[in-house]
Structure 1
Amino acid sequence: MNVFLWILQVLLAVLFALSGGVKSTQPKDKLAPRMPWVEDFSPATVRFIGIVEVLGAIGLILPPITGIAPVLTPLAATGLAVTMVLAAVTHARRKEYSGFGPNAVLFVLAAIVAWGRFGPYAF
């Protein structure tokens, strides 16, 4: 199970680092064609969301590798799961139901990591 959780952590870290990197470095106008929800938020908020995702990705990998504060890994997974719930709420408000699928999958994967690392497979 430990190997499975590591695989999920790496997968989530890559996905959130890529997604967050795009949101935190690209202007809002460039993001709008691919991510129409950015129209509802200020450029600073979109950048903040991207930075949160990048920090969450770092929190999934760096603490257990370094051995420094490994409790941050399940906290990062929990934070990313909450981010996906908020993303789903935004998609629901905008009636973008196609956005639920990716949000649900990422939520479940992050919740599994949080459960495993807080519980029986903690570092």
Structure 2
Amino acid sequence: MDIAYWTLADPLALFYAYAGTLKLLRDPERLRPMMAWVDRVPRPAPRALGAAELFGAAGLLLPPLTGTAGWLAPAAASGLLLLQLGAIPVHLTGGDRRIGLNLALLAVAAGCLALSL
């Protein structure tokens, strides 16, 4: 089960660490080409989402690596799952029908959650 968890959690954490860092460091104008939804949300929202993504990535990796606070890994996976459940309607209501990545992230987060329980 450990191999299965790490096979899912590592790339998921890497993706969220990258995406979260972009949202934290870049202005909305520089995010717009890859994230069209930034114009439809309040200005602090991308930064808050970026912070949540970074915390989620850390929560997927650090507790299993350190062997402490084991409840944080399923909490992080749940948070990332909820994040995607919120992202899908944002994409669909904004005319952006490309939700394939969101569905894949949702499935991988669900897998991480199931394997971390």
Q: 5+ residue gaps in structure 1? A: 119-123
Q: TM-score, with normalisation over the residues of structure 1? A: 0.91
Is 2:25 the partner of 1:29?
no
User: 1:104 aligns to what?
Assistant: 103
Q: CA RMSD in A?
A: 0.9
State how far apart, in whole Å, the 2-side matches of 1:77 and 1:28 are: 27
- The 3-state SS of whatever aligns with 1:43 is coil
Q: Is the 8 A contact 2:81 2:110 kept in 1?
A: yes
Is 2:103 the partner of 1:113?
no
Query: Could you tell me how far 1:42 is from its partner in structure 2?
Result: 2.3
Is 2:82 the partner of 1:82?
yes
Q: 5+ residue gaps in structure 2? A: none
Tell me which amino acid in the other structure corresponds to 2:108.
L
* Identity in percent: 33
User: 1:50 aligns to what?
Assistant: 50
Figure out how many residues of one structure are paired with residues of the other and give that number.
117
- The 3-state SS of whatever aligns with 1:97 is coil
Q: TM-score, with normalisation over the residues of structure 2? A: 0.96
Q: Which runs of 4+ in 1 moved over 4 A?
A: none
Query: Could you tell me how far 1:32 is from its partner in structure 2?
Result: 1.0
